Amino acid sequence: MNNLAGVLDSQGKYEEAESMHKQTLATSEKVLGKEHPDTLTTMNNLALVLDSQGKYEEAESMHRQTLATHKKVLGKEHPSTLTTMNNLAGVMDSQGKYEEAESMHRQMLATREKVLGKEHPSTLTTMNNLALVLGRQGKYEEAESMHRQTLATREKVLSLKHPDTLTSVYCLAQILASRHRYNESVALYERACTGYNAILGEDHPTTRACRQHYSQMLSSQEQNRVDVPPEIPRSSVSTQTGKGSRLSRGLAKMGVRRSKDSR
End-to-end CA distance of the chain: 14
pLDDT, residue 214, reads 94
Predicted confidence pLDDT, tens digits, the chain (263 residues): 556 666 566 667 888 888 888 999 999 999 999 999 899 999 999 999 999 889 999 999 999 999 999 999 999 999 889 989 989 998 999 999 999 999 999 999 999 999 999 999 999 999 999 999 999 999 999 999 999 999 999 999 999 999 999 999 999 999 999 898 999 999 999 999 999 999 999 999 899 999 999 999 998 888 877 554 333 232 222 223 333 344 444 443 333 334 455 55
Smallest CA-to-CA distance from 3 within 22, 17, 19 is with 17
List, in order, residues 6 or more apart from 19 with CB less than 8 Å away. none
| Domains, the chain, ordered by start | 1-75 (1.25.40), 94-263 (1.25.40.10)
Does the reported pTM lie above 0.85? no
Q: How many helices (H) and strands (E) does the chain have?
A: 12, 0
CB–CB of 164/153 below 8 Å? no
